[in-house]
Structure 1
């Protein structure tokens, strides 16, 4: 259920939008108000997901009202003035309806703001490797081969199965390239592959035979990842 309020100084316009809301089972109108000050009190009293708001109102306009509040719900501007559309979308309005508003147009707006967005399906499989510059070569390294990574200033020591490579790269850049579901930052200078953790004891974690220090600011996050 999506909770909303209606703000419009014109009684008939306000009643029309409320009547539209009442026809939709997924919307619940918490109240309708003739001015921004009354609407502000309602926003502070109840959680509101959608605000249907007139622009041209006496006292505080709809635009000024949105600029004045900290926690802004999704806003659908409803106005007789089409020329405010650009300014409305600069305020990240969810939609902009011009009076008189038909039920069909209102319904499209509601569907737009209440239906959850689904991520687009991708046929591209997740990457299984990374290319790392070592000396003058780009070396392909499978994520499954990496045990842990240590920073040395602007250089990295990448420990893989049976070998160590040195690459000119910051640890922050490396962290952004690694799959977050497999690698854990345990220190400002250390990233580990979760699959190779042997045990955690105190402020240290054993990974592939190496005992690595856990930074105090990273420990809680690491333990949460480990469950």
Structure 2
């Protein structure tokens, strides 16, 4: 869900933006402001994913606001004045919406933000560790240390060479989080690190001397990967 701030000194303009947000999937309003200075004071606390800001406002205009916050928070400008477009794009804003803003044009701007976010995520290096909540601690575990993960009824156990960490997360979480290039689900109760397999005996992968079953659901994908 994209959480956004709406900044405009005209209440009717804010109402229109709120209406557009309510009709756009995956977007919600975090907070609205008619005073950009108040928005500036709260932006670090609210940490929005995206900001829609008018440009021509008293005390602090949208361009000045954008320069103060820098590139930390993506901005889409909304304004009734075309002459600000060039300056807006020089600030590397996501888009520039000219009032009155049509719903379709608003949603196109949101799509531009989504596409830019996807590109940035694809370019970012993957972390080589995870943080795991276990009892009263949050533990950092290097991915290279994980041998396998076992799912139980109410918790999962992350197994390394020297310890077992219990957490209330579920296997689906780790299946989505761990890199598929290194880890694979082989059973409803197991995710394994492929490079930690010692040997395979029939439909079982042996890791740390433990025999881990490969169920029929995952057997074909598992052996295709092993054989290739």
TM-score, length of structure 2 as denominator length: 0.50
Greater helix proportion: 2
Greater Rg, structure 1 or structure 2?
1
TM-score, length of structure 1 as denominator length: 0.50
